Amino acid sequence: MNIYECMTARAANEGKRHTLPRALYKAWFDLGIRTFFGVRVNASGTLIEDQQNPEVFKTWNGIDRVRPAN
């Protein structure tokens, strides 16, 4: 699950500091939460999209997301 890394990269791009701990994302995920501040993940934790900052999502290096079939 790369949601923590994705949120850290997005915060840096937006000139903010990401201070939420990785364990918090894991706890939310374990509770069934699949959208984190606009970033959606699937049931296995794969990143799907960022509804709030899609440009950072598209360019984030090492992204692990579902790609649409061609």
Examine residue 68 and state whether it is found in any structural domain, yes or no: no
pLDDT of residue 39: 93
Contact predicate 25/39, CB 8 Å? no
pLDDT of residue 22: 95
> Using CA atoms, how far apart are residues 62 and 9, in angstroms rounded to an integer?
11
Examine residue 39 and state whether it is found in any structural domain, yes or no: yes
Tens digits of residue pLDDT in 32-52: 999 999 999 999 998 889 999
- State the pTM of this model: 0.77
Averaged pLDDT for residues 17-38: 96
> Using CA atoms, how far apart are residues 19 and 23, in angstroms rounded to an integer?
12
Examine residue 46 and state whether it is found in any structural domain, yes or no: yes
Examine residue 42 and state whether it is found in any structural domain, yes or no: yes
Contact predicate 7/36, CB 8 Å? yes
Examine residue 69 and state whether it is found in any structural domain, yes or no: no
Into how many domains does the chain fold? 1
Examine residue 37 and state whether it is found in any structural domain, yes or no: yes
pLDDT band, residue 55 (cuts 50/70/90): confident
Which domain, by its residues, includes 24?
3-59
- What percent of the chain is predicted at pLDDT more than 70? 83
